[in-house]
Structure 1
Amino acid sequence: MPTPKSLFERFIGASPYAAFDHLATMVALVHTDGACLFVNSAFETVLGLSRRSMLRGSLFEWFVEPEVVRDTVAAVARNDFSISRFEGQLRRPASPGGANGTDALPVHVIVTQTDQADLALVELVEIEQQTRKDREERALDQAQATKELIRNLAHEIKNPLGGIRGAAQLLQMEVESKALTEYTQVIIHEADRLQALVDRLLAPHRKPHVVSDVNIHEVCERVRSLILAEFPRGLKVVRDYDTSIPEFRGDREQLIQAVLNIARNAAEALRERMSNGDACLRLKTRIARQVTLGKQRYRLALELHIEDNGPGVPEAIRDRIFYPLVSGRDGGSGLGLTLAQTFVQQHHGTIECESEPGNTAFKILIPLP
């Protein structure tokens, strides 16, 4: 039976600081001159840089106001304080539209003493982290409530709908007037349309979960080919793949449908840009580390972005786009994103959206083995 010491060594690994890699917050061990002795995997993920490249630089250069961080680290190292907290902004490599070539992330900075006078422990907590966690929990609760509502409502509709259709068919056989027959045909047609809608609402809960090894890039390529076949002119679909992402267990067809629903919505929103020839849809895959999904911690997760340069999601429905029957375009059923969310959640993942005019990004997170 393993001893407590051997279990601890197995947990932290070879490095004495490896335990920090299991934290969701960003942690760095720094000299008073800013040189990094260690940064954890959460820091790598947020900055999008490798640990090796970060250790070659100064921690201070990654802050919008480096002087504040430098002075605080020096004060803690001098024993002026045992711990100091303040709000700061962390620089990250630029994202599209980022100001001055950087993308600033608001963080809560905690600087703590160590047992070595020239070293300090710096911990960074994303200010938006708790807000995002609360939002994910609300989304899960809302999705569960919506699922129960849909199932109950659909079953309540199906029974009288069948009776209405049957009565209309019997009536059609009895009437002799052609005008009245047209009315009964309208009833039958509308009953069939409602039946199809109910079946679509119930489909994700009826269909069995077919699990196999899934390569996310095969899923993306299938979606890309379908979108280009449907929108052959004026649309550019850009691949931005991390080919190191491993396969995982999942339902390939469900994931294709989820990504296709999002991509098709994006393509529909890009119709005006297609006529100008500058419509762009981007499929981007990345690895996320130390991710919490549904109150459970995962070491690795797939991060799939579906981005477009369309007009954006209307602000009036931005907080409700995953609700059933909510659509931002005329003629939309309002079920595509609801089904996408259901399929992703069946893979223990989450889906969220950030949108502004000219840039809409859906992000899917799914745990990896």
Structure 2
Amino acid sequence: MTLPSHRPHPARFQAFDQLAILVAVLADDGQVIFANAALEDAIGLSWRSIEGSYFQDYFAEPAALQHALEGSRENAFAALRYDAQLKRHGKASTDMLPVHMIVAQTERTGELIAQMLPQELQARQEREERQADQVRANKELFRNLAHEIKNPLGGIRGAAQLLEMEMAAPELNEYTQVIIHEADRLQTLVDRLLAPHRHPQVVGDVNIHEVCERVRSLIVAEFPVGLKVVRDYDTSIPNLRGDREQLIQALLNIAHNAAQVLSERTASSGDAQIILRTRVARQVTVGKQRYRLALELHVIDNGPGVPDSIKDRVFLPLVTGRDGGSGLGLTLAQTFVQQHHGLIELESVPGRTDFKILIPL
């Protein structure tokens, strides 16, 4: 639904339109004084239809709200919480939106504010908060690991080089070379862990399709036979503000991971496919912020799917479902996307895995 651009409300209500939660300001008899944009979207009615009506009528069990209104008139509580089923206009009678309801008094006599957090949104916000906490914990962990690992590694490598110079038997150099090689490999691993946190973002206007084309060319060059990389672009998407190199690396990590997972299908049937799809998403909530527009970028493959055993942990460092994988690619991709105030969502079943990147425009 396209909402009217002009909403003649008092200035004290204007900020509510920027919230992702559903908000209604009510008189103490339940008559709607104000409904924010998120509530209009959820119910499926314009503010002109909602305001002035009785809010009890929008719930499957109006008695709970009626009880809250009566309690407010008697000053029985400061705030009341309960779960409710919000009716959706024009939908089937069984199509309800489960919400967590908070009814509280405002500073004005005879006026209440009702806040409704869709339970699906609440679960998603909790999941995003856990992911953000995990990224912060990873950052601290990586810094500590770098300090504890890099200094001993340097000493081990230096000692192996000195030992190699002192040894009289050249055939023993094979062993010192193993030490040096493994020390270098661990150094590279630590550097990759620290990469997202070392360099500040270089922010500018980014054309997401230039990013996609760069990634596509790299994947096609590495996997030239048996893998098809399909473009499915919405060319109307405007430029976004971001770090071009970080976005290329994030998308490349996901696409490269998909290409490696498809290697068996590439070799056997030759019908392996990765789809790069761009769309505009509207009225998107990321964290607790609601955005009018967001980039929706999908990386879809027809591989075996992400194993159930790691599906909930796939963005954690060193978690991989592939032999020889470092378990860092998706961790770094998530970090780069979160630095753009976005998120990555995963849906995976055998035959179709979809990594969806959401970044506010």
Relative to the length of structure 2, the TM-score reads 0.72
Provide structure 1 residue ranges, at least 5 long, that are not aligned to the other structure: 31-36, 40-74, 93-103, 111-122
What whole-Å deviation, never above 9, does each CA across 1:251-292 have from its counterpart, x for those lacking one? Answer: 111101100110111111122332313222111222223333
- Displacement of 1:362 in angstroms is 0.8
Aligned position for 1:319: 312
Of the candidates 141, 144, 154, which is equivalent to residue 152 of structure 1? 144
Q: Is contact 1:24-1:290 (8 Å) kept?
A: no
2:270 paired residue number: 277
Change (3 A) 1:12 1:189: closer
User: Residue 26 of structure 1 aligns to which amino acid in structure 2?
Assistant: A
Task: Tell me how far apart the structure 1 counterparts of residues 323 and 264 of structure 2 sit (CA, whole Å).
Answer: 15
Paired residue for 1:28, among 26, 40, 44? Answer: 44
Q: Is this contact kept in 2: 1:11–1:19, CA < 8 A?
A: no
- Give deviations 1:47-88, integer Å, cap 9, x for gaps: xxxxxxxxxxxxxxxxxxxxxxxxxxxx959xx957795489
Partner of 1:366, secondary structure, is strand
SS in 1 for 2:45: strand
> Is 1:302 matched with 2:269?
no
Q: Is the 8 A contact 2:99 2:119 kept in 1?
A: no
- Gap change, CA 1:81 and 1:127, over 3 Å in 2: closer
The 1:81–1:136 alpha-carbon spacing in structure 2 relative to 1, beyond 3 Å, is closer
TM-score (norm 1): 0.70
Equivalent residue letter for 2:202: V
**Matched ranges for 1:130-279 at <5 A:** 130-274=122-266, 275-279=268-272
Contact 2:44–2:89 under 8 Å retained in 1: no
Alpha-carbon distance between aligned partners in 2 of 1:242 and 1:105, rounded to the nearest angstrom: 31
Q: Tell me how far apart the structure 2 counterparts of residues 331 and 25 of structure 1 sit (CA, whole Å).
A: 47
CA distance in 1, matches of 2:34, 2:96: 26
Match of 1:359 in 2: 352
- CA shift digits 1:172-222 (9 cap, x unpaired): 111102343222121111111111111111122112311110111111121
Q: Map 1:124-135 onto structure 2 (within 5 A).
A: 127-135=119-127
Amino acid at match of 1:135: R
Matched length: 300
CA RMSD of aligned residues (A): 3.8
What residue number does 2:110 align with? none
1:325 is paired with a residue of what secondary structure?
coil
Which whole-Å CA distance do the structure 2 matches of 1:89 and 1:6 have between them?
27
SS of residue in 2 equivalent to 1:26: helix
Cα distance 1:89–1:25, how it changes in 2: closer, same or farther (>3 A)? closer
Report deviation, 1:12. 9.7
Deviations 1:82-123 (A, max 9, x none): 77954899999xxxxxxxxxxx9984289xxxxxxxxxxxx9
Secondary structure class of the residue paired with 1:29: coil
202-211 or 332-341: bigger deviation: 202-211
Which of 95, 98, 108 pairs up with 2:98? 108
Quote the offset at 1:353 in angstroms: 1.2
CA contact (8 A) 1:240 1:284 kept: yes
Alignment of 1:2-151 (within 5 A): 7=11, 20-23=36-39, 26-29=42-45, 76=57, 86=85, 107-108=97-98, 127-151=119-143
Rounded Cα–Cα distance in structure 2 between residues aligned with 1:304 and 1:221: 13
C-alpha deviation, 1:164, in angstroms: 0.9
Cα distance in 2 for residues equivalent to 1:91 and 1:264: 44
Q: Which of these residues, 326, 334, 349, is aligned with residue 342 of structure 2?
A: 349
DSSP-derived class of the 1:243 partner: coil
What is the CA–CA distance in structure 1 between the aligned matches of 2:147 and 2:350, rounded to whole Å?
A: 40
Distance 1:261 1:27, change over 3 A: same
Q: What is the deviation of 1:8?
A: 6.9
Structure 1 residues 284 and 135 mapped into 2: Cα distance closer, same or farther (>3 Å)? Answer: same
Q: Which moved more, 1:267-276 or 1:255-264?
A: 267-276
Structure 2 unmatched ranges of 5 or more? 1-7, 18-32, 51-55, 67-83, 101-114
Distance 1:361 1:263 in 2: 11
Partner of 1:288: 281
Whether the 8 Å CA contact 1:213–1:250 is kept in 2: the answer is yes
Question: For the Cα contact (< 8 Å) 1:25–1:125, is it kept in 2?
Answer: no
Taking a change above 3 Å as real, the CA distance of residues 354 and 247 of structure 1, as seen in their structure-2 partners, is same
Q: What does residue 119 of structure 1 align with?
A: none
